[in-house]
A and B are shown apart, each in its own frame.
Chain A
Amino acid sequence: MTATAVAPAPAASSAVDRVRRARRRPARRVRLVLTALAAAACAAVLVRVLLGEYVVALADLVPILRGEPLPNAPGASFIVMEAKLPRALLGALAGLAFGAAGAMFQTTLRNPLASPDIIGTSLGASAAAVVALTTLDAQGLWLPAAAVAGALAVSLLMHAVGRGTGLAGQRMVLVGIGIAAMLSSVIQLVMTRTSIQDAQAALVWLTGSLARATWPVIGLLAVALVVLAPVLALCARWMRLAELGDDLSTTLGVPAGRARRGLVVAVAMAAVATSATGPIAFVAFLSGPIARQLCGGRPSLWAAALVGAVVVVLSDFAGDYLIPDVNLPVGVVTGALGAPLMLAVLVTAGRAGKA
């Protein structure tokens, strides 16, 4: 026998160079896309703040942000600081959260349908918030707390049903779609039973809107994202293995259940965002596939987050000004845009599956 346990000789340096180069090329493209998307997100926020019915000059923006008085445009400061900027920022933050959460779900569960707005996590947050709002008169921090609790409860239920089967991911998605249908009827029920004022407030939880943009809400969402983003980055490593299927993920050192437990971070992200804006339709669902197209086929959480921000901010802008004298909530615009795009995604996913 000639078999030996000697450590293999190092690879030829030309081979190593080749590996390095091949690894770097897609990474470069992703970096480029991320830079472009970040610029686009900033541009979208600027457009939202400066343009519209009340146009603010770019030169005036810095003094306004500094709180200096503007003698030539006395109302500008109020409009920017109390209406336009909060809306733009809340839209951007919520978009980031929905985009990242959606991409994380879709990639980990290997299913384009598995985004929080389709499988009931966002609706879990909505339903809990609506119930808290109408029956317990919840205010302030209690609303997001109820939303996160609702989303977590739904996710745990999906996880429990899928547990221990070879098709856990697939089952989670199917169960989630069922739960989503159930929860939206819960919300409808609450709305028909409650006072007209409460129903008006609860409507936000069905369509998603940036009308509640106030600085405390923005601050809360920003803090939540700053805390959750690094954790999400860590869980993204598990996601990369979950993409290889439950078996390989396990034999590479990440038991499949653990990768799915990492989704709890995405759940929290989507829930906090939902508690601030309501479930903005299709943003979580579509940001991932759009980002993937831009990145040359590879899913990227950060690109998806930025796509989400751009989509929400621009949709809100369009909802305000597209149809004269009608202010559409952002969720209506993304819903109208999203439905045809969803069909496109499903059709291409079906084709890829066959090939």
Chain B
Amino acid sequence: MTTTTLTPASTDVAGPRTPAMSARGLTLSHAGRTVVDRLDLDVPAGQVTVVVGPNGCGKSTVLRGLSRLLRPSAGAVRLATDGAEADIWSLRPKEFARRVALLPQSPPLPDGITVVDLVGRGRHPHHTLARRWSAADDDAVARAMHATGTLDLADRHVAELSGGQRQRVWIALTLAQETDVVLLDEPTTYLDVAHQIDVLDLLRDLNRRDGTTVVMVLHDLNLAARYADHVVALREGRLVGCGAPADLVDEDFVARVFGLGSRVIADPVTGSPLVVPAPTHEQTGATP
């Protein structure tokens, strides 16, 4: 590069970077029940963070706390992107929506909507009363659709797409939002294994290319270990451990988080930790 950039090129700075989002003492309650209890959590900027844990451990609730869908009963979440640091609840809704996007687990699909129209909904935070749709919006939608490989589907009805294509379209919507942080709640649910890998590859590519900070909840510990730069493990609403998968995921970790006996070996394809569960009943797997 010959051009001089005066922007703070954050990645080149040695030492710990400011996390894109950080929760301190975050307590989230639902219907009077504390689901997440005094959680301290950092989301490293420009990395892929995956939240794992057993069913009902509060993974999705944490995502709701990070995305302002749930107001904390105690503690706070701070957002530090674009060089501006603030409590997420101090921002106006649209301002927050220009900085953090969320893809919920299975959002309702509007009647009769086409792909391009649905992706275009992601541009709402960039509109004002006076400034509605503009060329910049066409550009952002085109980029999001190109990145997710959905351009060819542009005028199709979303309802007639396959599950994998549909998920790409929803991801395109969150990308069209053009935020620094993208949160995804189980983006691989209802997808077969090939489409799971497809979606996760897509998300990692986006992270590597644009530096988008990705946080997702995943059920599958092996996929988490394979795609995460940073794993956050929860159990019963409390943090059990966090760090790079290679440092974190071992047999003891699996036992502590899931209460499951296992062997952890190196994945022959990627080298990341691969959890091979031990049988939970004596007889299984030991047929004479």
Contact = CB atoms under 8 A, between A and B. Distances in A.
Nearest to A255: B93
B102 A4 contact: no
B125 A253 contact: yes
B138 A3 contact: no
B208 A3 contact: yes
Interface stretch (B139-147, B190-198, B232-240, B279-287): B139-147
Contacts of A240: 110, 121, 124
A19 interface: yes
Contacts of A110: 108
Nearest to B154: A22
A287 to B, nearest CB: 15
A292 B111 contact: yes
Nearest to A238: B124
Interface stretch (B6-14, B33-41, B216-224, B257-265): B6-14
A73 interface: no
A62 interface: no
A3 B69 contact: no
Contact of A22 (B69, B116, B139): B116
A296 interface: yes
Interface in B82-122: 93-94, 96-98, 100-104, 107-108, 110-117, 120-122
A22 B112 contact: no
B151 interface: yes
Interface stretch (A5-13, A40-48, A197-205): A5-13
Nearest to A13: B142
Contacts of B103: 248
Nearest to A112: B111
Given A5-B9, A5-B211, A297-B157, A251 B108 contact: no
B110 A244 contact: yes
B9 A4 contact: yes
A3 B159 CA distance: 35
Contacts of B11: 1-5
B124 A252 contact: yes
A265 to B, nearest CB: 16
Contact of A251 (B69, B120, B135): B69
A23 B142 contact: no
A256 B11 CA distance: 37
B68 interface: yes
A245 B104 contact: yes
A14 to B, nearest CB: 9
B245 interface: no
B247 interface: no
Interface in A35-93: none
Contacts of A297: 111-113, 157
Contacts of B93: 250, 253-255
A298 interface: yes
A345 B232 CA distance: 47
Contacts of B10: 5
B185 to A, nearest CB: 9
B177 A19 contact: no
B142 A11 contact: yes
B44 to A, nearest CB: 11
B226 to A, nearest CB: 19
Contacts of B112: 292, 295-299
Interface string B121-140: 11011010100000100111
Nearest to A248: B107
Contact of A299 (B67, B68, B111): B111
A215 B117 CA distance: 43
8 contacts: A3-B46, A11-B140, A23-B116, A244-B107, A244-B121, A250-B68, A251-B67, A299-B110
Given A22-B154, A247-B102, A255-B93, 14 more contacts: A5-B9, A11-B146, A16-B138, A19-B141, A21-B154, A22-B116, A26-B114, A244-B108, A245-B108, A247-B104, A253-B93, A253-B97, A253-B125, A297-B157
